[in-house]
Amino acid sequence: MSVSAVAADRSVCAPLPVLGRDVRVPLVTGGEVDYAALDYAASAPALQRVWDDVAAYAPYYGSVHRGAGYLSQLSTDLFENSRRTIAEFLGCGAEDQVVFTRSTTDSLNLLASVLPQDTRVFVFETEHHASLLPWEQRADVTVTYLNAPRTPQQAVDTLEKALAERDPYGPALVCVTGASNVTGELWPVRELAAAAHAHGARIVLDAAQLVPHHPVDIAELDVDWVAFSGHKLYAPFGAGVLAGRADWLQAAAPYLAGGGASRKVSRRTDGGVDVEWHSTAARHEAGSPNVIGAYAIASACQALTEAGFEDLAAREQTLITRVRAGLAEVPEVNLLSLFGEDAARVGVFSFVVEGWNSSHFAAALSAEYGIGVRDGLFCAHPLVRTLLGSEPQDPGECGAPEAAPGERSLNAIRVSVGVGTPDEHVDRFLRAVKELVTNGARWNYQTEDGRCVPARSAV
């Protein structure tokens, strides 16, 4: 069998090929195995299509908006065409802006920086830190943290009540996730948007975990902004997007001051400078643009669209059903959920295993089965604490176990899938869970530098 045939065979049943599908990793018990990347929620592997598109462009890389030469003009066209591709992918209107950022975190910090003075922000405690923390960086903005709802309707009712009771009645912003990075559960975005608009508030959707799994349309969801990261959408190179209404973006000072954001700069007679800032997305894109990052996102958007995003989402649901059914067969596994086991979700699951430190369990999945998952609090500490029934002061932090292997610690295990996940990876994961719970680990583990790792000797 040829090398290409082997690679194709290893990715069987995965709708879109990704980089790393043919990577072999060693096992502590001996031998090698195809690496099962089941940590898509942290950083999804790059689509092969994205990598090929970027590689084809790389020889033509040049400055953007800054040169008269052929490569500069080509790179500028590629950059702006990428913006249009993403706008179409998100269903943006003609008046909406697509601003390129570094990540979801950067996008939401940008939005926080342009909020009108005395804006009231409403955010559920269940958010990822990227959408939970940026707002309090503004001293003239008031943040209201809403308790974790236990049903989608309770989320809507909680928001309705909070918005109705706000005083004074001024500019307001609601920030909500589309799909939880901890539970994968879908939030009632349309209903929350309707509630926000009914009370004169705007709404920003943190789509970091939604957009890789499900079509996102700004007009259909009736949200004012969407924020997401390329590295969640199978597109590396450190770029993100904030897309939506232009008025607050145009009215505020630039996120960063510098070249690209300024349209005209002149000296004043008093020795200072006068600046005329751009009113386009360039206003908040100072510095040399990340053209490769922007193009990678656009390439991923095109690949998902051409493959049939609805079909990809339907196939993912079969994997979701398989994971849920498989974990349900292991009584010691407790799947974390806000809205109940029947709640609609994307392919993201978090769980704890009775009698296991979660970091120990994750380390065994990696070392003994070649399966990559995430353990910790997933940069959503208040939510995971709520789901684990802990007190706010209980110890625990992202990715760092505080207990020895076998002891309980305040963290969980997360497994996540996507368009590049073969059926075999899911089957291996479920088999590994059952074997570890039934037979225990086959190797000794210890904590080093805050991580649970294999010791030098077997059990």
Q: What tokens appear for 238 in the block?
A: 């450190």
Q: What tokens appear for 368 in the block?
A: 């003994």
What sections of 90-181 are H helices per DSSP? 104-114, 129-132, 152-164
Reference 138, options 109, 167, 159; nearest CA is 109
- Sequence-distant (6+) residues with CB within 8 A of 64 are 72, 75, 76, 79, 288, 289, 291
Reference 370, options 12, 19, 33; nearest CA is 33
Reference 307, options 42, 15, 66, 96; nearest CA is 15
Distance separating alpha carbons of residues 271 and 288, to the nearest angstrom: 28
Reference 80, options 70, 91, 90, 72; nearest CA is 72
Cβ count near 62 (within 10 Å)? 16
Distance separating alpha carbons of residues 278 and 166, to the nearest angstrom: 34
Place of tokens 């706010």: 392
Q: What is the dihedral of CA 374, 154, 328, 406, to 10 degrees?
A: 50
- φ, ψ for residue 187, nearest 5 deg: -95, 155
Residue 116 preceded by cis peptide, ω within 30: no
Distance separating alpha carbons of residues 387 and 364, to the nearest angstrom: 24
- The answer to whether residues 266 and 236 touch, using CB atoms and an 8 Å cutoff, is no
Cβ count near 237 (within 10 Å)? 17
Q: Pick the catalytic residue: 92, 301, 379, 452? A: 379
| Beta pairing partners, 345 | 185
Helix/strand/coil for 109: helix
Active site residue 175: no
Distance separating alpha carbons of residues 45 and 42, to the nearest angstrom: 10
449: left (phi over 0), alpha (psi -120 to 50) or beta: left
- φ, ψ for residue 237, nearest 5 deg: 90, 20
Distance separating alpha carbons of residues 208 and 242, to the nearest angstrom: 11
Give the residue numbers annotated as catalytic, written as ranges.
379
